[in-house]
Chain A
Amino acid sequence: MTVQPVVFAEVKDPPLPLEALWHRMSGALARYAGKQLGSPAAGEDTVQDVFSRYIESQPSFELLAQQEAWLWRSTRNAVLDILRSKRHRTTQSLDSLRDQTAAPFEPENHGPSPEQAVFTGEALGIVQKLFGEISSDDRDILWLSEVEGLEVKELAGVFRRPAALVKVRLHRARKRFRAKLEERGVAGHE
C-alpha cells in the first residue's frame, strides 16, 4: 500500500497509536536510514530497532509532532551509531563489493515531469552518485530537508540545535554539494 510522502504533523495533531504511527512513518524513516547507510535493508533493520526502543521506553507525547520528532531523532542517532561502529565498516566494504557488480540505484519511474524529461537519466544518476559522496552530515541535513520535507523548525528539533544554526548548516551543505557537482564537471543543463 502506498502512502503519501510524510508531511510534518500539524501543530495540534494528537499523537498516534503505534500501528498508525508505524504506517505513517516507517517508510520514510527506512528510506532515510537506508540512504544514509547505503543499504535499504540496513535502513529497514534500523527502523525496526528504533520502534523496538519506542515500544520498550513508552515515551509519552502530547502532540504528533513531538512523536515524529522523537522518531526522526532516534533514527538519526541510530544511523550515526552504525556509521561510527566497526560493524558498519565491514558492512561498507561488503556493500562496496556488491555495488561494483550491481547496477546503480535508480528511482522508480512514474512518468517524468517536464523538467525531468529535459534532465536526462544519466545526469540524474551522476548527481545521485555525487550525493552519496558528500559528507554524511551534509547528506543528512539535505535529505531531511529536501526529500523528507522537514522544515527548519523541525530540523532544529531533530538536530537539537538552534534554528538559525540549522539554517546556516543547510545553506552550507547545499553550497558544498553544488561545488562538488561543479568540481566533477556537472555543468548544469540550460
Chain B
Amino acid sequence: MSDPRDDRLDRQIDTYFEAERAVPLRPLSEFKLRAARARAAEMAGTADRWRLWKLGTGVALAALVVFLSVPRHESVTNDQLADRLEWLVEADQDSFSETSDPLVRLDQEIRRIDSPSGRTGKKSGDRSRMDWIFLDEQG
C-alpha cells in the first residue's frame, strides 16, 4: 500500500511537470538555422583543410623516408681498403705506378676503387708486370 504522503508529493511533481509541458513550444528562428548552416559549411571547410594537411604531411614524410633510405654515394668499405692495401704491399712496386711514394700510390688506388669500374677490384686490362712476364713465358 502506497504512502499517502508520497502520493501527495507525486501529485505535486506531476502538477509541476504538467505546468512545464503547458509552456508552448516555438521553433527557434530561421536566422539560427541559417547560422547553423553557415557554421556547418565552416566546419566542413576546416575538415577539408585538415584532411589536406594530413595528406600533405604524409606525402612529405614518405618522400623524406625514401630520400634518406636511398644511398647517394657508395663509399669504399674498410674491408675493401684493407684488401687493397695488402695487395699493394705484396705487389711488385715497379709494375704498379710511376711514383714510388706509397702515400701517392694509396691515394691513386683509393680513387680507382671509388670509380664505378673499380669497385670490384681490378679494371679489365689492368695487369701488373708480373702478369705480362707470365704471359711472355707462356708465349
What size tier do the contact residues of chain A reach?
Answer: 35 or more
Verify B6–A178 contact, CB threshold 8 A: yes
Contact B25 A115 (CB under 8 A): no
How many A-B residue contacts, CB cutoff 8 Å? 126
Which of B5, B21, B32, B36 is A182 in contact with, Cβ under 8 Å? Answer: B5
Residue from the list B19, B24, B25, B36 in contact with A6, Cβ < 8 A: B25
| Cβ 8 A contact of A22, one of B7, B11, B33 | B33
Q: Does B68 contact A (CB under 8 A)?
A: no
A146 to B, closest residue via Cβ? B17
Q: How many residues of B contact A (CB 8 A)?
A: 34
Within 8 A of B (CB), among A129-180: 131, 142, 146-147, 149, 174, 177-178
B8 touching A55, Cβ below 8 Å? no
Q: Which residues of B contact A54 (CB under 8 A)?
A: 40
Are A128 and B6 in touch, CB under 8 angstroms? no
Verify A44–B28 contact, CB threshold 8 A: yes
Interface pair A19/B13, CB less than 8 Å apart: no
Contact A116 B25, CB 8 Å, known A178-B6, A188-B8: no
Taking CB atoms and an 8 Å cut-off, the chain A residues in 89-138 that contact chain B are 107-108, 110, 113, 115-116, 119, 123-124, 127-128, 131
- Chain B residues with CB under 8 A of A3: 25-27
Report the nearest A residue to B7, measured CB to CB.
A188
A113 touches B25 (CB 8 A): no
Who on chain A is nearest to B35 by CB? Answer: A48
Q: CB-CB < 8 A to B32: which residues of A?
A: 26, 44, 47-48
Complex interface: chain A residues within 8 A of B106 (CB) = none
Chain A residues closer than 8 Å to B23, beta-carbon distance: 31, 107-108
Q: Does B16 contact A (CB under 8 A)?
A: yes
Does A2 sit within 8 A of B, measured CB to CB?
Answer: yes
6 sample A-B contacts, Cβ–Cβ < 8 Å, listed by A number: A22-B27, A52-B43, A56-B40, A127-B12, A128-B20, A177-B13
When A and B form their complex, which 8 residue pairs have the shortest distance between CB atoms, in order from nearest?
A188-B8, A55-B40, A27-B25, A52-B39, A56-B40, A51-B36, A146-B17, A26-B28
Q: Give A residues with C-beta under 8 Å from B.
A: 1-6, 18-19, 22-24, 26-28, 30-31, 44, 47-49, 51-56, 107-108, 110, 113, 115-116, 119, 123-124, 127-128, 131, 142, 146-147, 149, 174, 177-178, 181-182, 186-190
